[in-house]
Amino acid sequence: MEFTERRYSVLLVSSSPKFNESMLALLSESRFYPVTAVSDVSSARRRLLENKYDIVIINAPLPDDFGTRLALYICENSGAGVLLLVKAEHYPDINGRVSPFGVLVLPKPASSQTVSQSLQLLCGTRERLRRMEQKTASIEEKMEEIRIINRAKLLLMEQLKMTEKEAHRFIEKQAMDRCVTRITIAQSILSTYK
C-alpha cells in the first residue's frame, strides 16, 4: 500500500475565541485545509449541508446546544471524524454516551500533544472510512451492472424465446465479438426492446 500525504478539511465548532486560536495553531495548513470555524450548532449544520468535512472538532458547550447531538448527527450522516471536547467533570458521562457511536471525546483542558494525537487518530480513521466507502461504491456499481444484465437476459428470453443459458451466452459472445463490456451489450438490448 502506497502512503500519500493528504490534507483534511476541518470544521471547527466553538464559541470560544481563545480555544479557536489555540486549535488553529495545531492545525497546520500543510495537513489540515481548509479549516472553517463557526460558533454554534445552527451554523455548523448549515455548513455540513453545504460541504463535506473530513474532521469536525466541537468545543462543548455551545450557545444553542451542548454539542453531543451535533456530534451524533455527524457520525450518523457522514464519514467525518468527530472530536468532542468537554469539561473534565462531564467527560465520563458524555464519553459513555457518545463514544459507542464513533465520537472521540477528550476532557478539557487537554494538552496540545493529546489533541494532536487525537487528530492523527481521526485522520487514520478517516482514511479507513474512505477506503470502505470506495469498496462500497464499487460493490454497488457491480450490483447495478448485474441487475442491468439480468434485465437484458429477461428481455431476450421473452422476446427471442431464449433460455437463460442462451441469453447469457448471447450477451457474453456479443461482448467478446464487439470488444465491449457485457454492460454495454445489455444496455443496447434494453434500448432495442423497450
pLDDT of residue 133: 80
Q: CA-CA distance, 186 to 175, in Å (whole number)?
A: 9
What percent of the chain lies above the pLDDT cut of 90?
A: 81
Q: Is the dihedral of CA 24, 116, 87, 39 positive or negative?
A: positive
- Tens-place pLDDT, residues 66-83: 999 999 999 999 889 999
The DSSP-derived string for the chain is -------EEEEEE-S-HHHHHHHHHHS-TTTEEEEEEESSHHHHHHHHHH---SEEEEES-BTTB-SHHHHHHHHHH---EEEEEEEGGGHHHHHHHHGGGTEEEEEES--HHHHHHHHHHHHHHHHHHHHHHHHHHHHHHHHHHHHHHHHHHHHHHHHS---HHHHHHHHHHHHHHHT--HHHHHHHHHHHH-
Closest CA to 8 of 131, 138, 130: 130
pLDDT of residue 132: 83
- Considering only residues 128 and 20, tell me which one the structure prediction assigns the higher pLDDT: 20
- Tens-place pLDDT, residues 149-193: 999 999 999 999 999 999 999 999 999 999 999 999 999 999 998
pLDDT of residue 4: 60
pLDDT of residue 85: 97
Q: CA-CA distance, 166 to 113, in Å (whole number)?
A: 65
- For 44, other C-beta atoms within 10 Å of its C-beta total 27
- Considering only residues 89 and 138, tell me which one the structure prediction assigns the higher pLDDT: 89
Q: CA-CA distance, 148 to 189, in Å (whole number)?
A: 10
105 has pLDDT over 90: yes
Q: Which amino acid is at 160?
A: L
Q: CA-CA distance, 108 to 90, in Å (whole number)?
A: 9
3 has pLDDT over 70: no
Residue with cell 464487439: 178
25 has pLDDT over 60: yes
Q: CA-CA distance, 150 to 143, in Å (whole number)?
A: 10
139 has pLDDT over 90: no
- Tens-place pLDDT, residues 115-124: 999 999 998 8
60 φ/ψ angles, rounded to the nearest 5 degrees:
-90, 150
2 has pLDDT over 70: no
Instruction: Tell me the chain's radius of gyration from C-alpha atoms.
Output: 25
**Range with the lowest mean pLDDT among 9-13, 66-70, 138-142?**
138-142
- pLDDT mean over 117-133: 87
